[in-house]
């Protein structure tokens, strides 16, 4: 019998079920159709099993590098309500149980990515064999979408690997590489990828890996009521520490696993399904699904294969950013040149790159050999001579227009005509800078965030004469180095810093009005931000804040009038983390040691209590307003770009779906009303509603309708 998505045959006494048949997408996912086909196949297989008509069964994939990437997220997204979710899960449970209930030996041959429903299906087999393919990785990432594994994953995984490792996987969504899966007992054998199907029958009836006495004792202890109680208590504490309770899924996962301890399969699965159904309808899950689609779309590039790749990078300036960008090139095997004007500066750049690799080395994500090889691939230089070998140059010298223009004019004499030239400027006009070049079509802004190794976003900045192919090639490169690109038009602060500016400025005004540093940072944290605005200003540096404040005012006018507080702090040499004192104090290692008492000498206003909601609205509504200006100015063309930028560039809380998704959910009419009230009561320039936002309200449109 032939199917569309799944192959099925009985060959040499074994049943072979092949996933990802005719799959054109890069990832194979479970769809309603493929589940339907598999259900039909399993009816036949069950009959064969009853008659003892086969020696065993294997699931494999037709696509090397992908076993099964889980349920298609559009299916989860389309679930209408809890009852709809429960109906769908019931069908899937029947199918998955039928696999688990087969009497014959069964194994899942995992050659590549095996996530979510893919792993849950594999867990229904008596054995899991993994391949040595570098992409082989297993995980249950459902928590990242605000749900739990609903096909029995929370029931079967602890039975296979024990409670603590299962909790770790289910609560974090982490992926386990093939070798580690074998080590932890998730996989029963590792086979060479190219001979996996041939060798699998020999391994099917091999006795399982013996557990040693220590493992046996540990497993027994886990069954103990008291031990389990402690494990759940600790896990709950950790979840609260990591999520501050903003995400319901991890807490629900713990509840299901804890309550399910002595339940039989059908009772347990009914409870798991109910929890999934409830979670799938929460606003947090809907917002996380929304972010999944936003991120996925931002990674789409139609003509990717026709665009050139970067084999060798180069960076000008070996400072904080230059060292980080050199690391990124080296990390991606693009052996960079790193140019600066003094040997001491080059030394610092190498130190920065080495520090970025140190984490991976410590966590054994790379070997000492790899580390040495990658570090050696960075070529420090004091001249531009070698630049003809570069495919992409990123300029990261000090922030000065005249210097940057001079550097580019000089550089152009050394590079090949097809080499792309970019600037990491955070505040200067890319349009103006492009004028320094004879061929400005190959030039664009490429704005990284600090620290380069941790921040996923890169803004690609266009200008009037840029060649569209330059932008596409940069998008491809950013994706190749596993970062998230957004393409934006030139303008003060580009996108992220322009929206962040009113937030930080408003924080400074609130402090001047007498709101305390703690109240302010606490309000932002309770909104879901990764850090409060005072901490963020310390991270950025008060000198940079003053500079950016001026640029915003020059570029945007009165609504960006900066508070005088950052200048006062700058004058008092309270620069933040870079000199160990700002709003907070820091030790030599940069660890915060508490509040800086000097702040109360600079902010002398009478202490003022303000309710948290008002503080939050004062901080976040000007950001929404500025985003509306950005859309009106065509800095970017859609709300999704703003939200990708704010989530990946500032850590805007993912459970809120992004700044503009949040604004849409709050209601634009209510946002405008509150902005108008602040304009009346606080400051008319800073809170004046953008004409574009007003227009949207009068047209009854939302940001995501644009």
Q: Is 356 in the site for ligand NAD (CB under 6 A)?
A: no
Contact status: 386 vs ligand NAD (CB under 6 A) = no
- Tokens, residue 458: 């890169």
CA angle centred on 291, ends 290 and 292, rounded to 5°? 90
For residue 443, count other CB atoms closer than 10 A to its CB. Answer: 26
Does 345 interact with ligand NAD (rule: CB under 6 A)? Answer: yes
Tell me if 398 contacts ligand NAD by CB under 6 A.
yes
What are the two backbone dihedrals, phi and then psi, of residue 102, each rounded to the nearest 5 degrees? -60, 140
Residue 658 φ/ψ region, left for φ over 0, alpha for ψ in the -120 to 50 degree band, beta for the rest: left
399 sits near ligand NAD (criterion: CB under 6 A): yes
CA–CA gap between residue 284 and residue 325 (Å, rounded): 34
Provide the minimum distance between the beta carbon of 315 and ligand NAD in the complex, in angstroms, as a whole number.
9
340 near ligand NAD, rule: CB under 6 A: yes
Binder to ligand NAD among 70, 112, 139, 317 (CB under 6 A)? 317
Residue 450 within binding range of ligand NAD, rule CB under 6 A: yes
Per residue, what are the HEC states of 484-528?
EEEEEECCCCCCHHHHHHHHHHHHHHHHHHCCCHHHHHHHHHHHC
Total interface residues for ligand NAD by CB under 6 A: 21
Question: Longest C-alpha distance within the chain, in Å?
Answer: 86
Taking contact as CB under 6 A, which single stretch among the options 153-161, 263-271, 392-400, 500-508 is the one that binds ligand NAD? 392-400
Contact range with ligand NAD by CB under 6 A, out of 280-288, 301-309, 312-320, 386-394: 312-320
Instruction: Give the nearer residue to ligand NAD in terms of CB position, either 319 or 441.
Output: 319
Instruction: Report in angstroms how near the CB of residue 405 gets to ligand NAD at its nearest.
Output: 11
CB atoms inside a 10 Å sphere around CB 221: 14
Q: Which of 319, 456, 514, 555 binds ligand NAD (CB under 6 A)?
A: 319
Q: Give dist(CA 334, CA 328) in Å, integer.
A: 8
User: Which H/E stretch holds residue 102?
Assistant: none
Residue 48 CB: number of other CB atoms within 10 A?
Answer: 15
Q: In 282-342, where does DSSP find H-type helix? A: 283-298, 320-331
Task: Give, in degrees to the nearest 5, the angle at Cα 641 between 292 and 509.
Answer: 110
Let me know how many helices (H) and strands (E) the chain has, helices first: 31, 20
CB of 420 to ligand NAD, least distance (A): 17
What the block records as the tokens of 602 is 């600079």
Q: Which stretch binds ligand NAD (CB under 6 A): 395-403, 508-516, 556-564, 654-662?
A: 395-403
Residue among 369 and 413 whose Cβ is closer to ligand NAD: 413
What's the min distance (Å) between Cβ of 570 and ligand NAD? 16
Name the active-site residue from 120, 142, 272, 459: 459
Provide the token pair at 310. Answer: 């970067």
Q: Which two tokens stand for residue 108?
A: 């899942």
According to the binding rule CB under 6 A, does residue 397 interact with ligand NAD?
yes
Identity of the residue, 321 or 500, whose beta carbon is nearer to ligand NAD in the bound complex:
321
462 binds ligand NAD (CB under 6 A): no
Give the distance, in angstroms, between the CA of residue 273 and the centroid of all CA atoms in the same chain. Answer: 27
In the block, which residue shows the tokens 């704005």?
Answer: 447
Could you tell me which of 142, 102, 141 has the C-alpha nearest to residue 125? 102
| Complex with ligand NAD: residue 141 or 322, whichever CB lies closer | 322
SS3 of residue 59 by DSSP: strand
**Residue closest to ligand NAD when measured from CB atoms:** 319
Does residue 425 interact with ligand NAD by CB under 6 A? yes
Site string for ligand NAD, 54-93 (x = CB under 6 A): ----------------------------------------
Task: Give the integer Cα–Cα distance in Å for 68 and 18.
Answer: 11
Do the Cβ atoms of 440 and 434 come closer than 8 Å?
yes
From 50-58, 240-248, 421-429, 683-691, span contacting ligand NAD (CB under 6 A): 421-429
Q: Any contact of residue 424 with ligand NAD (CB under 6 A)?
A: yes
Choice between 120 and 340, CB closer to ligand NAD: 340
Can residue 396 be called a binding residue for ligand NAD (CB under 6 A)?
yes
518 is catalytic: no
Q: Which is nearer to ligand NAD, 405 or 702 (CB)?
A: 405
Query: Between residues 404 and 618, which has the closer beta carbon with respect to ligand NAD?
Result: 404
CB of 447 closer than 8 Å to CB of 426: yes
Q: Taking a C-beta distance cutoff of 8 angstroms, is the pair 357, 327 a contact? A: yes
Residue 138 has φ and ψ, to the nearest 5°, of: -120, 140
Nearest to ligand NAD of 426, 566 (CB atom): 426
Q: CB of residue 346 vs ligand NAD: minimum separation in angstroms?
A: 8
Instruction: Check residue 341 for interaction with ligand NAD (CB under 6 A).
Output: yes
Rounded to a whole number of angstroms, the minimum distance from the CB of residue 449 to ligand NAD is: 6
Q: Which is nearer to ligand NAD, 6 or 384 (CB)?
A: 384
- Helix, strand, coil percentages, rounded to 5, for the chain: 55, 15, 30
Q: How far is the CB of 354 from ligand NAD (least distance, A)?
A: 16
User: Of the two residues 461 and 511, which places its CB atom closer to ligand NAD in the complex?
Assistant: 461
For residue 112, the SS3 value is strand
**Residue 545 tokens, joined:** 């804040």
Q: Segment contacting ligand NAD (CB under 6 A): 84-92, 106-114, 373-381, 391-399? A: 391-399
- Smallest distance from ligand NAD to CB 45, Å: 57
- Name which position in 104, 320, 531, 572 contacts ligand NAD (CB under 6 A): 320
Alpha helices (H) along 364-516: 368-376, 401-411, 430-434, 468-480, 496-513
Query: Residue from 93, 339, 442, 618 that binds ligand NAD (CB under 6 A)?
Result: 339
Edge-first strand order for the sheet with 14-19 is 7-11, 14-19, 56-61, 106-110, 127-131, 189-191
CB of 344 to ligand NAD, least distance (A): 9
Residue with tokens 């996933």: 19
Q: Which residue in 146, 322, 445, 491 binds ligand NAD (CB under 6 A)? A: 322
Taking contact as CB under 6 A, which single stretch among the options 86-94, 153-161, 258-266, 311-319 is the one that binds ligand NAD?
Answer: 311-319
- 136 torsion bin: left (phi>0), alpha (psi -120 to 50), beta (else): beta
Which of 92, 166, 256, 407 touches ligand NAD (CB under 6 A)? 407
Residues with a known catalytic role: 459
Under the rule (CB under 6 A), what is the footprint of ligand NAD? 316-322, 339-341, 345, 396-399, 407, 424-426, 448, 450
């Amino acid at each position: 019998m032939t199917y569309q998505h799944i192959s099925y045959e009985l060959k040499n006494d074994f049943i072979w079920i092949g996933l990802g048949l005719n799959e054109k997408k890069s990832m194979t996912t479970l769809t309603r159709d493929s589940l339907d086909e598999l259900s039909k196949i399993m009816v036949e297989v069950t009959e064969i099993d009853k008659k003892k008509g086969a020696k065993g069964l294997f699931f494999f994939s037709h696509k090397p590098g992908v076993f099964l990437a889980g349920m298609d997220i559009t299916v989860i997204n389309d679930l209408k309500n809890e009852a709809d979710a429960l109906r769908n899960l019931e069908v899937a449970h029947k199918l998955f149980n039928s696999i688990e209930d087969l009497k014959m030996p069964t194994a899942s041959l995992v050659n590549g990515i095996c996530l979510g429903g893919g792993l849950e299906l594999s867990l229904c087999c008596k054995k899991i064999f993994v391949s040595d393919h570098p992409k082989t990785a297993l995980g249950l990432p459902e928590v990242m979408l605000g749900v739990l594994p609903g096909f029995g994953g929370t029931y079967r995984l602890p039975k296979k690997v024990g409670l603590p490792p299962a909790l770790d996987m289910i609560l974090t969504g982490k992926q386990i590489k093939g070798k580690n899966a074998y080590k932890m007992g998730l996989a029963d054998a590792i086979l060479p990828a190219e001979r996996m199907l041939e060798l699998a029958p020999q391994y099917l009836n091999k006795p399982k890996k013996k557990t040693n006495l220590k493992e046996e004792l540990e497993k027994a202890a886990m069954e103990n009521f008291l031990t389990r109680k402690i494990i759940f208590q600790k896990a709950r504490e950790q979840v609260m520490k990591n999520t501050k309770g903003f995400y319901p899924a991890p807490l629900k996962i713990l509840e299901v696993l804890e309550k399910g301890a002595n339940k039989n399969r059908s009772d347990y699965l009914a409870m798991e399904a109910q929890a999934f159904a409830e979670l799938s309808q929460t606003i947090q899950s809907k917002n996380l699904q929304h972010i999944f689609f936003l991120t996925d779309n931002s990674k789409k590039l139609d003509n990717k294969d026709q665009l050139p790749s970067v084999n060798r990078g180069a960076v000008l300036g070996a400072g904080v950013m230059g060292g980080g960008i050199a690391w990124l090139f080296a990390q991606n095997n693009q052996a960079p040149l790193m140019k600066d004007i003094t040997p001491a500066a080059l030394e610092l750049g190498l130190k920065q790159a080495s520090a970025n690799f140190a984490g991976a080395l410590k966590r054994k994500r790379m070997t000492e050999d790899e580390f040495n090889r990658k570090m050696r691939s960075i070529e420090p230089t004091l001249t531009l001579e070698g630049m003809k070998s570069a495919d992409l140059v990123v300029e990261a010298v000090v922030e000065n227009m005249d210097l940057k223009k001079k550097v580019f004019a000089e550089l152009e004499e050394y590079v090949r005509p097809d080499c792309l030239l970019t600037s990491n400027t955070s505040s200067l006009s890319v349009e103006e800078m492009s004028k320094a070049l004879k061929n400005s079509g190959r030039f664009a802004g490429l704005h990284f965030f600090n620290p380069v190794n941790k921040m996923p976003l890169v803004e690609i900045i266009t200008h009037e004469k840029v060649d569209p192919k330059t932008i596409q090639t940069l998008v491809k490169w950013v994706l190749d180095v596993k970062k998230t690109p957004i393409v934006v038009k030139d303008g003060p602060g580009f996108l992220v810093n322009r929206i962040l500016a009113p937030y930080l400025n408003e924080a400074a005004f609130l402090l001047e009005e007498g709101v305390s540093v703690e109240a302010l940072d606490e309000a932002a944290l309770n909104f879901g931000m990764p850090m409060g605005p005072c901490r963020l200003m310390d991270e950025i540096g008060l000198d940079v804040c003053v500079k950016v404040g001026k640029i915003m005012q020059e570029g945007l006018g009165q609504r960006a009038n900066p508070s005088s507080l950052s200048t006062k702090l700058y004058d008092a040499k309270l620069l933040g983390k870079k000199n160990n004192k700002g709003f907070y104090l820091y030790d030599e290692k940069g660890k915060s040691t508490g509040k800086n008492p000097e702040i109360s000498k600079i902010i002398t206003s009478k202490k003022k209590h303000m309710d948290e909601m008002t503080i939050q609205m004062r901080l976040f509504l000007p950001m929404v307003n500025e985003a509306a200006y950005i859309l009106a100015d065509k800095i970017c063309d859609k709300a999704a770009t703003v939200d990708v930028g704010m989530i990946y560039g500032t850590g805007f809380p993912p459970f809120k779906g992004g700044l503009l998704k949040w604004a849409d959910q709050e209601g634009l009419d209510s946002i405008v009303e509150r902005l108008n009230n602040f304009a009346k009561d606080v400051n008319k320039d800073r809170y004046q509603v953008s004409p574009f936002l007003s227009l949207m309200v009068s047209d009854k449109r939302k940001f995501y309708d644009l």
